[in-house]
Amino acid sequence: MALKANIVIDQGTSFSTSIDVTDEDGNIVNLTGFTGAAQMRKHYTSTAQTAFTVSISAGTGEVTLAMTANVTNNVAPGRYMYDCELTDTAGTVSRLVEGIVTVTPGVTR
C-alpha cells in the first residue's frame, strides 16, 4: 500500500521533496537498479499531466521528486493529484506515494 502524502508547490519556484524508503522494520531499502516515474494530473482521467523528475539514491533508500521553477511556473494554481511509482529490476511496479498537490499562485513575475 502506498504512502499518503499531500504536498504544496509554490508556482514559479523550484520544488523538491524526498522520501526515505524503509521496510516494515525501519531498515533502509537498497534501491539499486530501481527506476521511478511520477506525475500530477487535475483528476484521475486527465490526459494532460506534469511530470516530476525522480532521482533515486540507491544506497540511502532516498527517492526525490522535483520540478524546476520553469515547470512550476507553467502549472495553473489549483488542486491536483499525483503518485510516484518505482520499478525494480524484474519489472515489478510498486506505488511508493500518492496524494494531493496544491499549487499556490505566484505574484512575482
**Can you count the helices (H) and strands (E) in the chain?**
1, 8
Residue 8 DSSP SS3: strand
Residue 101 clears pLDDT 90, i.e. is over it: yes
Residue type for position 4: K
pTM of the predicted structure, to 2 decimals: 0.92
Domains of the chain: 3-104 (2.60.40.10)
Closest CA to 42 of 7, 75, 1, 84: 75
Residue 20 clears pLDDT 90, i.e. is over it: yes
Q: How confident is the model at residue 57 (pLDDT cuts 50, 70, 90)?
A: very high
**Could you give phi then psi for residue 83, rounded to 5 degrees?**
-155, 165
Quick: pLDDT tens for 79-90. Answer: 999 999 999 999
Residue 13 clears pLDDT 90, i.e. is over it: yes
